[in-house]
Amino acid sequence: LLHLLQQLSLACKKGENMNYCIVEDGIIVNIIVCEDDATAELFGAVASYEGARIGDVYDPTGIKSLEIRMNDVKDAIVKGLSL
């Protein structure tokens, strides 16, 4: 693991960097910075996206987030709560 972290550190210093997500069971558990997709793949990382946060569902399309919000609205309506 230490060797991989050193490789990541070196790769990130070479040029323009991008964010990548480490995802376990559909949840973002870490966000790392890598120079390219090949380096990210060494860590099992996938492309990040605007709004990605550790602890959130990995949802680059925004569809899951929209479904969750829609369900929240439905629950609020059923309970008679105002948003």
Q: Which residues contact 82 (CB under 8 A, 6 or more apart)?
A: 76
pLDDT at 82 over 80: no
Question: 65 or 29: whose pLDDT is higher?
Answer: 29
The string of pLDDT tens digits covering residues 71-81 is 888 888 888 86
Angstrom CA distances, 59 to 9, 11, 24, 32, 54, stand at 27, 26, 13, 17, 12
pLDDT at 66 over 80: no
The string of pLDDT tens digits covering residues 2-60 is 666 666 555 555 557 899 999 999 999 999 999 899 999 999 999 999 899 999 999 98
Is this model's pTM higher than 0.75 or not? no
CA 17 to chain centre: 16
